[in-house]
């Protein structure tokens, strides 16, 4: 994997899109990719994609689960083992979900568990209303002091990958 220069949001979003392409196409979910970056060192801490891990796991969830495994803790204890001075950015091809129809913890709640560590969430597209009519995630993140930024220029490609496997009307 080629090094991505600091602040190259399109470069990190392209990496997230590469992750999304690994997700199996299904009519019941989006194929999403995510990348978690330490912005101080420009180091990629974890990547993930939809259904990479068992349990109907979303891309952001996979990032956090893999990082937690690196630290030998369950995902919900990740905040306890990460340095408090970390400045993280999460890149995700589709806006993090605010509701899970499966009953799993929404990705926005997972991000909020790391509030003050995750400073920014970069999204390729806002979540289409196919599965959840009103995603309130952006508002929740911003209310917690997390900046949400749209990375423009890859929307068409992201949506093609995200909706592969969906029935086209």
**What's the confidence (pLDDT) of residue 31?**
95
d(CA 167, CA 110): 30
Domain boundaries, the chain: 21-162
pLDDT tens per residue across span 30-58: 899 999 999 999 999 999 999 999 988 99
Tokens of 60: 């952001």
pTM over 0.85: yes
* Nearest one of 101, 31, 26 to 62, comparing CA atoms: 31
d(CA 101, CA 92): 19
Whether 129 has a pLDDT exceeding 60, the answer reads no
Higher pLDDT, 112 or 137: 112
Which CATH architecture best describes the domain 21-162? 3-Layer(aba) Sandwich (3.40)
Higher pLDDT, 160 or 99: 160
13, containing H or E segment: helix 9-20
Residue 135: band (very low, low, confident or very high) from pLDDT cuts 50, 70, 90: low
* Nearest one of 70, 76, 78 to 47, comparing CA atoms: 70
């Amino acid at each position: 994997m080629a090094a991505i220069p600091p602040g190259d949001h399109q470069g990190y979003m392209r990496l997230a899109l590469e992750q999304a392409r690994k997700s199996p196409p299904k009519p019941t979910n989006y194929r999403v990719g995510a990348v978690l970056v330490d912005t101080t060192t420009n180091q990629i801490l974890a990547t993930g994609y939809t259904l990479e891990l068992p349990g109907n796991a979303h891309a952001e969830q996979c990032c956090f689960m893999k990082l937690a495994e690196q630290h030998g803790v369950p995902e919900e204890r990740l905040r306890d083992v990460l340095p408090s001075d970390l400045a993280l950015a999460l890149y995700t091809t589709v806006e993090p979900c605010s509701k899970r129809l499966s009953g799993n913890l929404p990705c926005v709640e997972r991000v909020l568990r790391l509030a003050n560590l995750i400073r920014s969430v970069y999204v390729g597209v806002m979540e289409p209303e196919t599965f959840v009519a009103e995603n309130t995630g952006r508002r929740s993140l911003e209310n917690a002091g997390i900046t949400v930024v749209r990375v423009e220029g890859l929307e068409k490609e992201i949506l093609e990958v995200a909706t592969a496997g969906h029935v086209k009307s």
